[in-house]
């Protein structure tokens, strides 16, 4: 047994959508969430910048004694996950990638959409995954322009959010997709707006949080890292931004 915390990292607040799933499922596991905040969003930054920021976060989480680290950022995963595993062989990592497989296997129209940052859609990880299903479905890629900023500014339920979401989602629905894959952990916070745009049309919205939780459980068991059954979990929030941002992380996590 190991009562050290699980670390969760994202460029900002988006990874809290993964944090919430872990917190609700792994009832006796402590969690340390690090949302960069200072340099968010990562989507248009260079690969070397993203890698450097991610290493800074990993080092900070290792200082906190984290026994396993979730890179709860699709962009950081696309750029850094393989290099992180090589650089820190003693730390199990869980990375994120869009849930293309379940959407492709379930699609009835033969068309699915993947909504992500530009950097994630251009990454080798996504290209490798999507190529496996290219002969089964048409994968339509779309960038959620401004979506991350809306979540960071706590504007998910604003008129502007609905306008921005509609401008991206409506063309996808009109092209006949029956699955929209949320390929950025910020985007689930905009689910209400997305569902409002989709309306009663037969389109399913999927994200990666449940798959990530299952992978975390698998690695906890494989490396004998589960906390004691009677461990009382502690939840900490860190950032490279200021104390106000940390307070916002905590508020959104439990909101």
pLDDT digits (tens, 9 = 90+) for 163-189: 999 999 999 999 999 999 999 999 999
pLDDT (mean) for 151-169: 97
SS3 249: helix
Same domain, 110 and 202: yes
- Please check whether residue 66 lies inside any domain of the structure: yes
Q: Is 86 helix (H, G, I), strand (E, B) or coil?
A: helix
Q: List the CATH number of the domain containing 220.
A: 3.40.50.1860
Q: Which of 30-34, 77-81, 101-105, 134-138 has the highest mean pLDDT?
A: 30-34
What does the pLDDT read at residue 57?
98
CA distance 212 to 202: 26
pTM: 0.92
If asked whether residues 79 and 113 sit together in one domain, one would say no
User: Phi first, then psi: what are they for 42, rounded to 5°?
Assistant: -95, -15
pLDDT band for position 124 (cuts 50, 70, 90): confident
Residue 218 and residue 200 share a domain: no
Statement: residue 127 has pLDDT above 90: no
User: Can you tell me the mean pLDDT for 213-224?
Assistant: 97
| Res 128: pLDDT | 87
Taking the C-alpha atoms of 212, 85, 5 and 99 in order, what is their torsion angle to the nearest 10 degrees? -10
Reported as a pLDDT band with limits 50, 70 and 90, residue 43 is confident
State residue 123's pLDDT score: 81
pLDDT in tens, 47-81: 999 999 999 999 999 999 999 999 999 889 989 99
Do 85 and 120 lie in one domain? The reply is no
Q: Are residues 164 and 230 in the same domain?
A: no
Q: Is residue 1 situated within a structural domain? A: no
For residue 117, the model assigns a pLDDT of 87
What pLDDT was estimated at residue 106?
Answer: 95
Provide the pLDDT for residue 46: 93
Give me the percent of the chain exceeding a pLDDT of 70. 100
Same domain? 83 vs 117:
no
What domain count does the chain have?
A: 2
Residues 146, 84: one domain? no
What per-residue confidence (pLDDT) applies to 141?
A: 96
Residues 192 and 108 placed together within one structural domain of the fold:
yes
Catalytic (active-site) positions: 73, 184
Residue 125 pLDDT greater than 90, yes or no: no
Give domain status of residue 202, yes or no: yes
- Whether residue 39 contacts residue 71, with contact meaning beta carbons closer than 8 Å, is answered with no
Angle of helix 191-198 versus helix 159-174 axis, rounded to 10: 50
Range of the domain at 86: 6-95+209-254
* Whether residue 22 sits in one domain with residue 114: no
In a shared domain, residues 24 and 84: yes
Q: For 11-158, where are the E strands, in sequence order?
A: 31-35, 68-71, 93-95, 111-116, 138-143
Point out the least confidently predicted range of 45-49, 117-121, 214-218, 239-243.
Answer: 117-121
Indicate if 104 and 153 belong to the same structural domain: yes
pLDDT at 248: 97
What is the reported pLDDT for 234?
A: 98
């Amino acid at each position: 047994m190991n009562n050290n915390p699980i670390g969760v990292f994202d460029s900002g607040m988006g990874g809290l959508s993964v944090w919430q799933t872990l917190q609700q499922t792994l009832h006796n596991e402590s969690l340390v969430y690090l949302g960069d905040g200072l340099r968010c969003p990562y989507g248009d930054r260079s690969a070397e910048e993203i890698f450097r920021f991610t290493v800074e976060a990993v080092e900070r989480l290792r200082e906190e004694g984290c026994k396993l680290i979730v890179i709860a950022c699709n962009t950081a995963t696309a750029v850094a996950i393989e290099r992180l595993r090589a650089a820190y062989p003693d730390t199990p990592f869980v990375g994120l990638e869009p849930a293309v497989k379940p959407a492709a296997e379930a699609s009835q129209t033969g068309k699915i959409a993947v909504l992500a940052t530009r950097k994630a859609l251009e990454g080798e990880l996504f290209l490798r995954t999507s190529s496996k299903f290219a002969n089964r479905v048409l994968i339509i890629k779309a960038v959620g322009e401004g979506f991350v900023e809306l979540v960071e500014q706590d504007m998910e339920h604003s008129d502007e959010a609905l306008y921005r979401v509609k401008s991206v989602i409506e063309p996808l629905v009109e092209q006949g997709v029956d699955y929209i894959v949320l390929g950025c952990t910020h985007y689930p916070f905009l689910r209400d707006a997305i569902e409002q745009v989709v309306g009663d049309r037969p389109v399913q919205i999927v994200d990666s949080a449940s798959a990530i939780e299952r992978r975390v459980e698998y690695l906890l068991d494989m490396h004998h890292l589960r906390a004691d059954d009677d461990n009382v979990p502690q939840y900490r929030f860190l950032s490279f931004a200021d104390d106000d941002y940390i307070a916002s992380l905590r508020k959104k996590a439990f909101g």
